[in-house]
Structure formats: structure tokens, C-alpha cells
Structure 1
Amino acid sequence: MNSFLILCVLALAAAASARPETYTDKFDNVNLEEILENRRLLIPYLKCVLDQGKCTPDGKELKSHIREALENNCAKCTETQRRGTRRVLAHLINNEADYWNQLCAKYDPDRKYVNKYESDLRSVKKA
């Protein structure tokens, strides 16, 4: 019985360590639709990640992971973050071309990663 219990604990520990670390989910409840539908709310986030303005705590968190998430296809994102990322990118690609181009120039100047997002999300209204 003891060896079975130890085996179960070791299996759980191995499964937990095999799971990739994820970004904090502290801001997963931010209402993205409200932000995307209101430029007064959206533009400060964009200026934050472009180093053109002040950042809120969630803006700082976002900015600190953009490059890594882009390069690793959001491998450390929660499912909520993956869906939100697709929704935000679709909105930027289709409705905020100037800011999208600035973001691409800053975070992927060689366009190694953003081309796939553009082809997948162009003309997508809600992802």
C-alpha cells in the first residue's frame, strides 16, 4: 500500500513538472470586448506595448511576454489567453492597421512570426 501511494505521488509530481509553466492568469478576466470596442481604452494599451505611453499593471504583464509568446506560439498561455490573443490580433489586423504595423516592426521586424497570424486572422471578426 505504501509503495502504491509513493508511486502515485511520484506520478503526480512527474505530470506536474512535465506541464509547461504558464503565464499568470491574474488578468484573464479583463473584458477584451469592452477594450476593443472603445478606442479610448484600447489606445493606451497599444501605446504601452509600443513604449509610447504609461502602462497599467495588466499592460506591463502583457508587454513582458509579447515577444516570447509570439516566438513560441503562445506555449505558456492559458486557454483564455490563447482565445483572447486571437481575438485581439484579429481586431488589430482588421481594424488598426497602423498600430498592427508598429507592433510588427517592434516585436517581429523580420516578420518571421506575424505572417501566419495575418493570413489566419485577416477578415476574422471574432476568433
Structure 2
Amino acid sequence: MRTVILVCLLAVAALARPEKEYYTDKYDNIDLDEILDNRRLLIPYIKCSLDQGKCSADGREMKSHIRDAMETECSKCTKKQKKNTRKILRHLIIHEKDFWEQLKAKYDPTAKYYPTYEHAVEIDDKAFFGEA
């Protein structure tokens, strides 16, 4: 009888544990390549992130998670969000160096996190996200 009760309690405890929390995937289907390939589309997102311009709804959503995602290595990101984040970082580091420097100054002034992300430009997705 005790074993049955113990098993029931363990089952209830397992069911009561919350599922892993993720950022919303509401904006995961935007055409990221179109934005990255067109500075007219890209710059408003960057300026939003830097508090230098207005933010669209998806820009506000993205901005609200930058610090947390950076500090937790995107632990609440879906696989697609991780891949897109890496694509964005790679683009900024290679093609938008001035804005990358401003973003680093704003979100990582002590240089605690950005070296990891700059290293991301040099390695493949699987190695960067610990899937190798």
C-alpha cells in the first residue's frame, strides 16, 4: 500500500512540475533574410533595441528578451529562435559593426557575454548550441 501511495505522489509531483518556459513563437515566421538583406527594414529593429527609435510589436517583443537571452544563452529560445538569433548576431558582427558595438555597450557593458557571441561567427550552429 505504501508503494502505491509513493508512486501516486511521485506521479502527481511530476505532473505538477511546470513545462520548460519558452519565449513566444508568435513572430518566428517573419522573413528574417528579407530584413537582414534590407537596411531600410533592419535599422528600425536595431534602433528599437538601442532605444533610439520607435518599436514595432515584434521589435518590442525581441527587445524585451535581449538581456535575458544573452545572460542565459537563449535558454528560453526555441530551436528556430536560437538559429535566427545566431543568424542575426553573425550579420551584425560582420556587416553592422558600429551598431554591434552600440548593442554591446548597452546590453553587456562589462563584456561578460559578448565574447561568446562573437565566437559564434567562427563556428557552426551545432557546436555553438551544444548539439555536436
TM range (shorter): 0.7 to 0.9
1:38-86 alpha-carbon deviations (Å, 9 max, x no partner): 0000000000000000000000000001000000000001111000000
Mark the runs of 5 or more structure 1 residues left unpaired by the alignment: none
Q: Distance in 1 between matches of 2:12 and 2:99?
A: 48
Say if 1:11 and 1:31 are closer, same or farther in 2 by CA, change over 3 A. farther
In structure 1, the residue matched to 2:29 is 29
Instruction: Note the C-alpha offset of 1:119.
Output: 1.8
For 1:13, the aligned partner's letter is L
Q: Distance in 1 between matches of 2:88 and 2:80?
A: 12
Q: Distance in 2 between matches of 1:54 and 1:119?
A: 30
In structure 2, the residue matched to 1:64 is 64
How large is the Cα RMSD of the aligned pairs? 2.3
Instruction: Note the C-alpha offset of 1:13.
Output: 2.2
Instruction: Note the C-alpha offset of 1:20.
Output: 2.2
Secondary structure of the residue that 1:112 maps to in structure 2?
coil
Q: Distance in 2 between matches of 1:51 and 1:44?
A: 10
- Give the aligned length: 119
In structure 2, the residue matched to 1:13 is 15
**1:87-102 matches, cutoff 5 A:** 87-102=87-102
Bigger CA radius of gyration: 2
CA contact (8 A) 1:50 1:106 kept: yes
Mark the runs of 5 or more structure 2 residues left unpaired by the alignment: none
For 2:117, the aligned partner's letter is Y
In structure 2, the residue matched to 1:120 is 120
Say if 1:31 and 1:11 are closer, same or farther in 2 by CA, change over 3 A. farther
CA contact (8 A) 1:70 1:113 kept: yes
Instruction: Note the C-alpha offset of 1:11.
Output: 7.5
- TM-score normalised to the size of structure 2? 0.81
Instruction: Note the C-alpha offset of 1:116.
Output: 1.1
